């Protein structure tokens, strides 16, 4: 099926079955993938053909999906403005389609923003890492908190 319909090609970065990596070779019975950390995976073609295949290489543009949380006492409008400023300053982010930042969830300990800039596929990881770092550093400088899970433990003296 893979050799006939060609949903993947050598060089594509894919998820197939429970593995992901760059396609190195496609043979009659197996496909060879190389992971980003240089592991080699041989997947039976029957497993790939019988499951979903996500091919990240077919389109020229990719959307970078990120989530950032702020504290409930922080200024949502200010945080959103900071995020948009960071996105507008990054040269790897495409202007069309326009990046999106919106409050997506009122979670247990944070107000979460979904942030979705579009990039050329080759710029995906660079933009992902750069924006994540810039948001953290800028939130710190601007007094916006990033909550993290914590637990309060109360100890009561035992009665004898």
CATH of the domain at 116: 3.30.70.100
> Taking 60 as the threshold, does the pLDDT of residue 77 lie above it?
yes
Is the same domain home to 48 and 32?
yes
Query: What is the rounded average pLDDT of the residues 97-122?
Result: 96
pLDDT at 94 > cutoff 90: yes
CB 116 within 8 A of CB 64: yes
Q: To the nearest whole number, what is the mean pLDDT of the chain?
A: 91
In angstroms, the CA 114 to CA 68 distance is 7
User: Residue 159: pLDDT above 70?
Assistant: yes
The band of 137, judged by pLDDT with boundaries at 50, 70 and 90, is very high
What pLDDT was estimated at residue 5? 58
Residue-range definition of the domain harbouring residue 85? 61-142
Domain count of the fold of the chain: 2
What is the pLDDT at residue 141? 97
On whether residue 156 sits in a domain, the answer given is: no
Burial class (CB in 10 A: 0-12, 13-18, 19+), 84: middle
């Amino acid at each position: 099926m893979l050799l006939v319909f060609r949903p993947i090609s050598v060089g594509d970065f894919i998820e197939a079955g429970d593995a992901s990596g760059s396609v190195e070779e496609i043979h009659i019975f197996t496909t060879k993938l190389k992971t980003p950390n240089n592991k080699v995976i041989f997947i039976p073609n029957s497993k790939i053909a019988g499951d979903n295949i996500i091919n990240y290489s077919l389109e020229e543009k990719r959307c970078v999906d990120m989530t950032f949380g702020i504290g409930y006492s922080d200024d949502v409008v200010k945080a959103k403005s900071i995020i948009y400023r960071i996105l507008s300053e990054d040269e790897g982010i495409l202007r069309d389609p326009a990046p999106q930042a919106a409050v997506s969830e009122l979670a247990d300990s944070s107000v979460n923003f979904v942030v979705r800039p579009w990039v050329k596929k080759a710029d995906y990881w660079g933009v992902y890492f750069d924006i994540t770092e810039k948001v953290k550093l800028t939130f710190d400088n601007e007094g916006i908190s990033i909550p993290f899970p914590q637990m309060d433990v109360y100890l009561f003296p035992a009665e004898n």
